[in-house]
Structures are given as C-alpha cells and as structure tokens.
Structure 1
Amino acid sequence: MSLDQGIVFAVLLATLGLFIWNRWRYDLVALAALLTVTIAGLIPPETAFSGLGHPAVVTVAAVLVISRGLLNAGVVDAIARKLTQVGDKPWVQVATLTGIVALCSGFMNNVGALALFMPVAIWMARQNGRSPSYLLMPLAFGSLLGGTLTMIGTPPNIIIATYRREIDGSAFGMFDFLPVGLAVTVVGVLFIALIGWRLTPKREESTSDELFEVSAYLTELTVPEKNDFVGRSLHDLIETVRDEADVLVVGLVRDEQQTEMPSIYKVLNADDILLIEADSDSLKTLIDSTGLALVSETPSEDNSSDEAEPQAAQKTAPALSTSEEDNNSSTIKKPNKHGELTLSEAIVTSGSPLNGKSASALGLRERHSVNILAVARQGQRLRQRLGEIRFAAGDILLVQAHEKVIQGALNELGCLPLASRGLRLAKPNKVLMASGLFAIALGCIAFELLPAAVALVTAALAMVLTRLVPPGEIYDSIDLPIIILLAAMIPIGEALDTTGGSQLIADGLLVVGQSMPAAATLLVLMLAVMLLSNIINNAAAAVLAAPVAIKLAAGMNVSPDPMLMAVAIAASCAFLTPIGHQSNMLVMAPGGYKFGDYWRLGLPMSVLVVAISIPVILLVWPF
C-alpha cells in the first residue's frame, strides 16, 4: 500500500467513524474530509470544489425543486385525499399507503413523499384506535423501495448513472432502473402488506391530548387595577420571571375583545385578562412575583394559595375548542376577528435550524410568530422548562400560531406537520401545469433528447417562472447538507480511484471471489454496500462503492452494468437502522420506535431485496 493510498484510507475510515458517531452533521464531516485530502495533495486545489458542478449534484438539486413544485400544486395532496377512503383493515391500509408512497418516491424526493403521507397515516391510525407504529415503518420502507424505480428516485441512482457515463460514454437512462426496481418494489410492498407490518413493534398510542395535556396548563389571569405592570409591556412581565418560571402568554382579552398571541410589546391595561400556558409551579411563581390574580379571585385574595393548580385546570375548557368544521383533524381552533388560532403537532427534521438550539435563543415568538407549547421526545413529554430545551431531530412539537402563518413558519423552521396537517384543495390548472412540466422533462430524458441535469433544471426553472415554486422557496426546497455531502464526497471518491485505492479493494474482492461464481461476487458486493448504507448516508455509500464496482468488473473482465446496478439497489435499501436514511429517522419519534426496532422488519426486507434483485439483475444486465 502506497503512502497516498494510506492517507485516503485513513481519511475515509475517520470519516466513516464520524458519520457513525453522528456528533457533527454529515455535510461538515464530508467537507472536512475533502479539505484534508486536498491539503495532503491528493486532489488538485483547482478541482477540489468541482463536485458542486457535477451533473449528479445538479440533478439532485433540480429534483428537490421540482418536488416542491409538485407539492405546491397539490398533485400529491389530491392522491392523499383519496387514501382516507380505503377502509379500516390494517393490511389494506398498509398496502395502499406503502404502495402509493413507493410510486411517488420513484418520481420525486422520497423524503418529501414520506412527509406528505405521514399525516395521512397517523390520522388513519388514530381514527381506527391503533398506534401509528404499524403504519409508519412500512411507509418509510416503501419510500426507500420506490426510490429504486427510476434514475431520479434517489441520489444513489443519479450517482450511479453518472459513473456509468464516465466508463461507457452513456449514462443509465431514466427507466433503466425500472426492471430491477419494479421487481424489488412490488415484492417488497406485498411482503410488507401481508406479513411485514405484523413484525413492527406495537407501541401504545398516545393521542395529542394525552401526550401534551395542553388544557391542564392553560389559565386565565387578570391584571388588577393598581398592579405594577399596568402601563408596562408583556415583555416586561415575562422578563420578570424568565429565570424562575416557564410561562407563555397565548391570549389577551380587553373590553370583551380577544387577541390571540398578542405582541410581546403589547402594553397592559388594568382589568386585562391574560391566557397563560404554564405548569402549576410556574403559575404560582408568576402570581407571586407579579401580583396578577386568577380570574375568579379578587385582588385581596391570597394569590399564593395552593388552590391555584385545581382552579387552573378548571378554567381551561372555554379557552380553546375543536372546530366542528374540521372533525377529521386534531387541529384545535378558536375563531376570532384576527383569524383562527391553531395548535399543530410537528416533527423536527434532521436539517432543521432548531437542532441543538432552544426556543428562547431562537426568538420563535418574535421572529416567526409561533409559540412552542410542549415538546415530546421518544413518546414522552419533556417536563423541563421549554426555554431551556435544546431541540433534537425527531422531537415532536406542539406549535401554536395563526392558521395563515403556521405552514410557512413550519417550513422555515424545518418541521413537518403531523396529524394536524390539513390537505389543501388542489387547483386543477396548477395540477395540470405541474404534471405537464414534469412529464415533458421525463420525456426528454427517456428519449435522450436532453441530458437529465439539463432537462430537470429546465423543468425546475419553468416551475419557478410559473410561480409553482415562489422565488423565496427555491433554496428552501434544496436540502443543502445533501448537496454539500455529494459535492465533497465525489472528489474524495475520485481520489480513492486515482490513488489506486479502488483497485486495491477490488483486488481483495477478486481474491475472495476466485473460487466463487460471478453471481456470488455480486452478492458479496451487494451485502457490503447494503451494510455500509445502514451506517452512513446512502449517497456517500454509492460514491465510495461505485469506483470499486467498476474496478471489480474490470478485474473479472465482465460488464460493469450489473455491478453498478447492484450498488444502486444496495445503497438505496437501508432498512436495518434509523440512521441509514432520513425516512427511517423521520418516523422514529411519531412511531415510538427504538433504535433496535428496525431490524425486526428490516432484516427480512434486506434478505428479500437481495434474493429478488440479484436474479433480475443477471437477467436484465448479464455479465
């Protein structure tokens, strides 16, 4: 092994270790690895950042923008609305949801497809008195299976297609992945629907009311006439107890006019009534420190009475009520002249700016006009002060905001709405326009009229120009950590190849496979990549494995196509751990899953994928 190869392997091993440790975000780890290899002289400085212009990176970014356009047009919402009519049999619900998500994942970002159908799955589970755990893991695995259907279904397919161009002069086409992907997807969905969902852990379902118990923490307080805070702002009031109590002002009543989520700079008048969200200890501290009184009390009564807690619980029923017009949602609303105030459950995604930060540090009320009323983690409500909680990916938040701003706020905060998400009414003209633009792009790729990157960027631009994707949402829709990861790992993959590292690994596999048939070598490669994709990002796994697959094929003197196709399938099917793919991580908290739950369904799924894909690969792409 040469010095250069030793450096590359050392950097890759350190990178893999940091990916598994998951202390730092994977894009930062990949960028550090790229800089290390560049400084070591293994990559010319002038080409270190060439990955940003790589066709695979550009294609992934374009697909993400197109996915946002399809969502905004209501294309998938129109499908989701029909799913609420499939009946209450568990296997029918699993089959329908998993199949539809798989189909959508073949043509749009699979995480986006999962995010759209998660609220539908949770709503269906709750309507039938079941835990969402029996639906959500099958849903996540369905999104992974569907990504194998087309070239744009998942980043590994895009990466493998571009690697094939470098060795053959022509990339895999849009539907070259379909024969193998369709076989794997159909068999996988049938297995999940008939048998697999029974292997998922059955967690006890906690409804939003049971999980958060919001009503028990809402209390009405009044501002006495001679109180020190008359003529001062809400901000001054809250600051007085910020270090000792955790309180939120969610409403203000003045002269029989109610204001939901009043400005924190609202000046208080005598006899104002404040709707306060706080636990009993914080409530008592607030009353003692500020001289506010429970509505049922007179100013002369003892505000430090131990009766504060039961009175608080009794006074909450009228404060917020469920709208009769939205019986199919867990959203809680109260109409007023300022619009409807909404409580919505949302999950923090891995790329959310909330990760590692607290609500007070981010100024959510001031900057985004939202209140975080409660936080649940791994199925349990966190009881520490909200202002001190540092959010983590997978946390479920109970968010309060006006109906007109809540969706935009959740988008900005990188949170996905759960069961409270209302399906938008799809406008036929927008659905037709979005579907038409996408279909034209797919046609140009399928008939080789334009390269995939050019066709998809053109479609993305057309969606922006037609306002299907507002300019402000263009870059919000692009998952920048994935883009940076790809842009950094592609040059590292090239360094592995140019230093002879790929050849060294391939030679090792050839030695192992000398006494085995070619199909067995394909099996070994596939198992290795599948294992790798369960501990690091699937795109990174594809980047590292593709050069090895090409060298291995050359050493065996066979076509690289079956090897590359095996890498694409294996990298996309990370079923064993929640960290292998964003889809797996997204369903972890809402489904109440633990790290070790995934292998129960994931192991038979992995075996099934390998057993189905290898014969089909050898049939369609022979050596």
Structure 2
Amino acid sequence: MSIPSFHAMAAMAITIAMFVGFVRGKLSIEIVSLLTIAVIAVGLYFFPIGDAAPTDGLALAFSGFGHYALITICALMVMGRGLVVTGALEPAARFLERVFKINLQLGLLVSLLIAFILSMGVNNTPVLVLLMPIFVVLAARGAMPASKTLMPLNSASLLGGMATTIGTSTNILVVSIAVDLGMPRMGVFHFTPIVLLASLVALPYLWLVMPRLLGDNRVEREDSVRRFETRLRIGEDSELIGKNASEILPLLPEDIRFEDEPLGHVTQQQRLRVSGTHQGIEDAMRTLKGEIAPTWVMDRIRRQSDETSQDIVVMEMTVTADSRLISRSLSTTGIADRYGVAILGIHRPTRVMGKADQYDAAGDLLMAEGDVLLVMGLPNDLQDFAHKDSLLILDGARELPRRSKAPLAGGIMLGSVLLASFGFLPIAISALAGAILMFLTGCVKFDRVGRALSGQVIVLVAASIAIGRIILESGAAAWLGELLSLGLHFLPPAAILAAIMLFVTVLTNFASNATAATVGTPIAFSIAQQLGLPPEPMILAVLFGCNLSYATPIAYQTNMLIMSEGGYEFNDYVRTGVPLVILMITTLSILLVLAYGM
C-alpha cells in the first residue's frame, strides 16, 4: 500500500487540528472555523493540488460560503423565525405543553416518537425545522429547557431518516451508487425492520440518558421571572361565564393565582384581580377570552401597528422617584389617552419592612417608586411615555407575535416542506422560496433577519464544507479506505461490518455524509467482492454509517440548526453522540449479520 500524498496528509492533519480546537474550547467555534478556512486557502494557494491553479485553492476554501447547504440552512432559519414571531406554532406548543404537564418524561417520549415516525416518510431536515421552534416556545413556557430536548429530538429525526430509502438524501445517494455498481434497487422499506429493531435500543438512550448528559443552558431561570399584578376582564363570549373560582383556576396556567378570589359566579365583563408571569397572563387572556387593558386601547394599538407596519412591543419600565405615576392607579393615570400605550401589569418588588401596599377605592394597586410596569405599545410611543413620565426602561423588551399572519407563515412552511418531501423541488429551492415568501408577506421583516441567523453556524458550515472537499480531492478519503481494507481479512463478519460502519461514521462526522457515501459505497462493494461476502449488508453498513452523524455539529445540517437555539458547545455533541454512535454500530452490525445469515 502506498503512502498518502502530501496533500492527503495535510488534509488529515487540518481535520484533526480543527477537531482538537473545537474540543479544547479555548478558542471560539467561529475563530477555529475561520482559522481552518484560512489555513486551507493559504496552503492551496502556495501548494495547489495537481495541476490546479492557485486561485482554485481559494475557491475551494471559500466555497462553503456560497454552498447550497449553507443557503438552505439560512433559509430554514428564516422560516423558523417566521413561525415563532407570528405565533403559528402556539397551538401545537400548547398541545405538547399539556402532555409535558402530565409528565415531563412522557412529553419527551411522545415528541421523540413523533420526530422518529415523521422522518421515516419525510426528509428529516424539514421535520426538525417544524418541531424545533415548538420546543423553543415550550422551554420559554417552563417545560424542559431547549438544551435538554433539541439534541434528543434531532437524534430521533436522524434515526427515523435512516429507516427508509427516502428518509434522507444520503440514503438515496447510497442506493443510487449501489445500483450503478450493479446491485438491484432497494425498495422504500427494504431495510426498515432492521432500523426499527435498532431503534428499540437507541430510543431509550435518547429518552432517558441523553437529556441527563446535557446541561440547562437557559440564560433566564424561572426564579428570576417577574410576577405582575393586573385586572383581567372576562370577555363576552367566554365559556367561563357562570363558573366559580374553584372551577376556573384549574383551567388557568399554573403560575396564575387570584389576588382577590371572586365570590359566587363569574359574570360578563367582570374584572378579576390576578397575578402571574407575562407569558402566564397572555395564556390566561386566551383562556378567559378577555383583555388586561381597555378594549379600545388594545384595538387602537393593533390598528396603528397595521397602518404603520410596526411591531407591537412589550417593555418593562421602572417607576422612578420623579414620576408623576406615584400614588396613582392604572385607572387614574390617563396613560392610554396621552401616549397610546397600555400598562398590562405591575410588579411590586419586596418592600422595606413596615411599608404596606396601598390601594384605591376600587381595589386597584397604587403605584410606588421602584415598581416595574409591563407596558405594551409601538416603539416610539413607549419611548415617549418613558421619557415624559420619568420611567427607566429595563432590558428584556420583546415583540408580540403577529398572530394575524400566523396562518400565512404556517402555510408557507407547510408548502415548502411538502414540496421537498415529495421530491417536487430540492430542499434548497423550496426553503429559499419559502424564506422569500416570508419576507414578501411580512411574516419576517428584513431588519430582523439578523435575529434569525447565527454567525457561528454560518462559519462552521463553511469550514465543514471546505474540510469535506479537501479530504475528498486530496485523496485522503481513498487512502483511508485502502488502509481499512487491509486488516479486514482476519475479522468475523460482524466486526467487518462494524469496521466499515465506523470508517464511514468518522467520515460523515468530520467531512460530510455526501463524501462518506461517495467514498464508502464503492469501497464496501469492493471489500465484499474480495472477501466473498454478500454486498448488500456491506452497502447497508455504509448507508447506516452515513446517518450516524451525532458526534459533531458539522456532521449534518440539522446538527447546526439546533446549535444556537440549544446553546450547545462542540463538547455537547461529542459527550452525547459518541456513546450513541457506539451503541448503534454494535446493534446494527449484529442485526445485519442475523438478517443476512453471515
């Protein structure tokens, strides 16, 4: 066997160095990724591969920034942002939230099964794109943190995508290469039973073990969320009219409580004095079909938002010693008339001993210095209100969902997913079309794109594409395949399958699954002929290995999609993914030997 070329050795060295840089964590992922791209660009400029021109090396190093995979990921992020800002996923989130309320572990199991089953018939990328924002919303509502759910959810979608020939584009690629090599084409469910049996081992790991290996990466903890006191008006069409407090309370969010429990049955337009978090109060409004500010004020704010194309914003403001609001209640301030904003609630910090809260004749809380107001309105009106009434704006302003566009955003996402799932359009084209429609229809605004995209993910994708190309074009992948075949003659069939699967898994986690499929399939076919083994299980070992992309964020585009939302670091993928890879390689190798009588 010949020694690898200079370029092949350099490609392997760069790959190892990048991996070490990610794992050590002394430099940020962005810096390691950009350094990797820079080393490839400079190296290929002065030492081109073969007869290539120096500028060809630059094109290879920077090709990731214009690659369809990166464009696809960015477009999917934009569409995911559209679903969140329009509130399109709230019905699904509330359903799963009810399941999580029954039991957190049950909720996670149901979610994993949904992701697994959907990914068997639909490309797993759009499946994760649909589910990921729901779990971000659920985490904000107090369910399991996104960092503990997104990684298992992604792994379940990858596991489901492995089960059919149409589950991932990589499966289709491997099957197509195998047909070109002379093998009969595999049906859609040709190897599904093997994967289903393996999933009986993998899913318990995803459900019970993986979340325990992941930390809680939420920035804001539940104990730091402020509680606001407000008056909740019962709507005219509320189903709760005629019920008493004991019947209403179980239907409200867990963090809502009555400050003055209503006596007797609730009547139309009755004002209930409640307290809760901002999210809890919003959920209570939907349940009671009521408002927490006069209807005419809310309608005016929404109308002005539509006319000016501005987002409605909710801010927290502190009452200072100079504010005219001190010793006034919400009903006596005249804020709505003067500024066109609505105060949704008041947070009362812990008071000095002996200083009691004061209320007016109607039972409304009188504002005092240090109170935090939850105020809703358009940005300019909120700034005007804060300036003229001596209020201090706190961090944490957020835009309210543009719910009027929720059906439109959901339709755009669903259309893009269906077009890609049934093969009418490539995922890159359908995702781009969906992102453009999100912009044109106002579901996502151009000046908000930066919030949807992650710079970390962008440079990481670009670096991974450059690494994949140089490993393939330098001959490093082919040399590794030759090295693998030398030691297989003396191994039992299960070990041979495991070795091939492990080789392809390493390629797919450090280069790309397309590279692993392109290089691994002909190598496996050749090894089967040399050793006199049936080629089909060897090809399936390659197919399965290409899907075991759990151990690094650069292995698959969905790994990168969850990275920013889950707050993951490179070590999180290694810590949770390596045990899963070992578990799957062992299980699948044994099942292939049993299934094919080897």
TM-score (norm 1): 0.53
Q: Is the 8 A contact 1:526 1:610 kept in 2?
A: yes
1:334 is the counterpart of 2:373? yes
Aligned with residue 17 of structure 1, among 14, 17, 20: 20
Please point out which of 502, 507, 524 is paired with 1:553: 524
Tell me the residue number matched to 2:34.
28
- Tell me what 2:108 maps to: 94
- Residues 425-444 of structure 1: pairs in structure 2 closer than 5 A: 429-430=407-408, 433-442=411-420
User: Residue 65 in 1 paired to residue 57 in 2?
Assistant: no
- Does structure 1 retain, via aligned residues, the 8 Å contact 2:128–2:154? yes
Match of 2:473 in 1: 498
Q: Which one-letter code corresponds to 1:465 in the other structure?
A: L
- Matched letter for residue 436 of structure 2: L
Structure 1 residue 54, shift from structure 2 partner:
3.7
- Pair 1:124–1:551, CA change in 2 (3 A): same
CA positional deviation for 1:505: 0.6
- The answer to whether the Cα contact below 8 Å between 1:118 and 1:136 also exists between their aligned partners in 2 is no
Aligned counterpart for 1:454 among listed residues 423, 429, 432: 429
User: Whole-Å Cα distance in 2 between the matches of residues 138 and 85 of structure 1?
Assistant: 16
Query: Per the alignment, in what secondary structure is the counterpart of residue 84 of structure 1?
Result: helix
Number of equivalenced pairs: 433
Partner residue, 1:570 = 548
Please list the CA deviations of residues 502-553 of structure 1 after superposition, one character each: whole Å capped at 9, or x if unmatched. 12111111122222356533422444565788xxxx5745466455424532
Note the C-alpha offset of 1:458: 2.9
Larger-Rg structure:
2
> Residues 4 and 428 of structure 1: is their aligned pair in 2 closer, same or farther, counting only changes over 3 Å?
closer
Q: Tell whether the 8 Å contact from 1:84 to 1:120 is kept in structure 2 after alignment.
A: yes
Deviation at 1:84, TM superposition (A): 2.5
Matches within 5 A, 1:396-475: 399-401=395-397, 406-407=398-399, 429-430=407-408, 433-442=411-420, 446-447=422-423, 449-474=424-449
Please state how far the C-alpha of 1:596 moved relative to its aligned partner: 9.2
Measure, in 1, the Cα distance between the counterparts of 2:506 and 2:155: 15
Alignment CA distance shift 1:168-1:12 (3 Å): farther
What CA distance in whole angstroms lies between the structure 1 residues aligned with 2:572 and 2:416?
39
- Cα distance in 1, alignment partners of residues 161 and 577 from structure 2: 22
Partner of 1:389: none
Separation (CA, whole Å) in 2 of partners of 1:562 and 1:490: 25
Query: Which amino acid letter does the alignment assign opposite residue 509 of structure 1?
Result: L
Distance 1:565 1:316 in 2: 70
CA shift, 1:30, in A, is: 3.4
Determine helix, strand or coil for the equivalent of 2:442.
coil
Go from structure 1 to structure 2 and tell me whether the alpha carbon gap of 1:160 and 1:112 turns closer, same or farther (over 3 Å shift): same
**Equivalent-residue separation in structure 1 for 2:402 and 2:446 (angstroms):** 21
Q: Is the 1:542–1:568 Cα contact (8 Å) retained in structure 2?
A: yes
SS in 1 for 2:135: helix
Deviates more, 1:499-508 or 1:472-481: 472-481
* Contact kept in structure 2, 1:160 and 1:564, CA below 8 Å: no
Q: How many angstroms apart in 2 are the aligned matches of 1:621 and 1:468?
A: 52
CA contact (8 A) 1:529 1:571 kept: no
Q: Distance in 1 between matches of 2:148 and 2:323?
A: 51
Q: Are the equivalent residues in 2 in contact too, given 1:464–1:471 (CA < 8 A)?
A: yes
- Output the amino acid matched with 1:430: L
Deviations 1:25-71 (A, max 9, x none): 24313322431442231364233234444443343333333333444
Structure 2, unmatched stretches of 5+, are 229-315, 329-349, 359-363, 365-370, 380-385, 530-534, 554-558
Q: Where does residue 483 of structure 2 map in the other structure?
A: 508
Aligned identity (percent) is 17
Query: 1 CA distance for matches of 2:220 and 2:426?
Result: 49
**In 1, are the aligned partners of 2:34 and 2:463 still within 8 Å (CA)?**
no
Note the C-alpha offset of 1:80: 0.6
Task: Determine the C-alpha separation between the residues in 2 that align with 1:525 and 1:371.
Answer: 63
Question: How many angstroms apart in 1 are the aligned matches of 2:353 and 2:503?
Answer: 57
Letter in 1 for 2:452: S
Aligned residue for 2:156?
A: 145
Deviation at 1:496, TM superposition (A): 2.3
Deviations 1:554-604 (A, max 9, x none): 5425578535422332113669xxxx8775786579xxx9979995x7676
Q: 1:472 to 1:159 in 2, by over 3 A?
A: farther
| CA positional deviation for 1:81 | 1.0
Q: Which of the residues 2, 7, 10 maps onto 2:5?
A: 2
The one-letter code matched in structure 2 to 1:434 is: I
**Which residue of 80, 91, 115 maps to 1:78?**
91
Displacement after TM superposition at 1:79 (Å): 0.7
Q: Sort the Cα spacing of 1:24 and 1:490 in 2 relative to 1 into closer, same or farther, 3 A.
A: same
Tell me how far apart the structure 2 counterparts of residues 146 and 98 of structure 1 sit (CA, whole Å): 8
Superposed CA offset, 1:307-361 (max 9, x none): xxx986887989xxxxx9xxxxxxx973458689xxxxxxxxxxxxxxxxxxxxx
User: Structure 1: how far apart are the matches of 2:374 and 2:420?
Assistant: 45
Contact between 2:158 and 2:547, CA under 8 Å: does it hold in 1? no
Q: Which runs of 5+ in 1 are unaligned?
A: 126-131, 216-247, 260-309, 319-323, 325-331, 341-364, 374-398, 409-422
Instruction: Note closer, same or farther for the CA distance 1:21–1:472 as it changes in structure 2 (3 Å cut).
Output: same
Moved more, 539-548 or 517-526: 539-548
Q: Is the 8 A contact 2:8 2:475 kept in 1?
A: yes
Whole-angstrom CA distance in 1 between matches of 2:219 and 2:453:
33
Q: Distance in 2 between matches of 1:508 and 1:164?
A: 24
* Partner SS for 1:334: strand
Map Cα deviations across residues 361-381 of structure 1 (whole Å, 9 max, x no partner): xxxx99xxx9998xxxxxxxx
What TM-score, normalized to structure 2? 0.55
In structure 1, the residue corresponding to 2:548 is in which secondary structure?
A: helix
